[in-house]
């Protein structure tokens, strides 16, 4: 069995995030390279779409994850180079439109004691710019320890550390999104 086949088998069994694709196949390109398919027509009788995008902003890389229209299945989507705020906002706004996202959750980085850290102000500025650029609800959510959880998952899957950069941020975004959806379901 190939390494990819092994990862695909264990990915759905070991992580609460339940990726829909093996970690090896996460897209890393710009918005246009996303492999998420949109459902153009809604089935009558279904509840309103819960399709949510999670953004794990980082100084160098930004991870993205998405859930299905029912808000049940979460999967890592992509890792993009962060680049400038203006460029990232434009790419995320385009993805929101293309994929018919109804809500965007952005991980808010803070210290363990809850105080702001060096990234908090940059994330809040990104959130405000994204709110101006898109009509969907943009929410901040505590991202505390999602990167650590993503590292733990990658280690458990046996993925070599040198291949983590292209996956870790998207997996962290998926963990963030699952946390948000779980909290929302229990309100």
Whether residue 19 is contained in a domain is answered as: yes
pLDDT computed for residue 18 by the predictor: 38
Residue 90 to residues 6, 37, 94, 131: CA-CA distances in angstroms? 36, 20, 6, 11
**How far apart are the C-alpha atoms of 169 and 57, rounded to whole Å?**
8
Asked if 158 contacts 53 with a C-beta cutoff of 8 angstroms, the reply is no
Backbone angles phi, psi at 74, to 5 degrees: -115, 140
Domain around 125: 3-32+48-185
Question: Which H or E element spans position 108?
Answer: strand 103-108
Whether residue 41 is contained in a domain is answered as: no
CATH number, domain of 91, equals 3.30.420.140
Question: Would you state the structure tokens that stand for residue 15, as one six-digit string?
Answer: 């992580």
Question: Would you state the structure tokens that stand for residue 34, as one six-digit string?
Answer: 């996303």
Backbone angles phi, psi at 7, to 5 degrees: -60, -40
pLDDT computed for residue 45 by the predictor: 65
Whether residue 39 is contained in a domain is answered as: no
Whether residue 88 is contained in a domain is answered as: yes
Whether residue 37 is contained in a domain is answered as: no
- Percent of the chain, pLDDT > 90? 38
Whether residue 100 is contained in a domain is answered as: yes
Q: DSSP label at 116?
A: B
The total domain count for the chain is: 1
**How far apart are the C-alpha atoms of 113 and 101, rounded to whole Å?**
32
Question: Which H or E element spans position 134?
Answer: none
Give tens-digit pLDDT for 22-65: 334 444 444 444 444 444 465 676 667 789 999 999 889 999 99
Whether residue 159 is contained in a domain is answered as: yes
What's the predicted TM-score (pTM) here?
0.72
Give tens-digit pLDDT for 88-121: 999 999 999 998 999 999 999 887 787 888 889 9
């Amino acid at each position: 069995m190939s390494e990819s086949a092994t990862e695909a088998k264990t990915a759905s069994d070991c992580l609460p995030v339940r990726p829909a694709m093996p970690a090896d196949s996460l897209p890393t390109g710009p918005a246009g390279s996303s492999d998420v398919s949109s459902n153009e027509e809604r089935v009558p009788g279904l509840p309103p779409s819960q399709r949510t995008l999670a953004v794990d902003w980082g100084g160098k890389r930004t991870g993205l994850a998405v859930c299905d229209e029912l808000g049940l299945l979460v999967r890592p989507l992509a890792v993009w180079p962060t680049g400038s705020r203006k460029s990232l906002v434009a790419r995320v706004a385009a993805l929101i439109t293309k994929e018919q996202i109804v809500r965007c959750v952005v991980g808010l980085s803070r210290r363990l004691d809850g105080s702001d850290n060096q990234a908090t102000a940059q994330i809040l500025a990104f959130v405000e710019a994204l709110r101006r650029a898109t009509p969907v609800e943009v929410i901040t959510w505590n991202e505390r320890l999602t990167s650590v959880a993503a590292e733990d998952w990658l280690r458990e899957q046996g993925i070599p550390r040198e291949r983590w950069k292209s996956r870790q941020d998207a997996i962290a975004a998926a963990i963030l999104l699952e946390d948000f959806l779980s909290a929302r379901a229990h309100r």
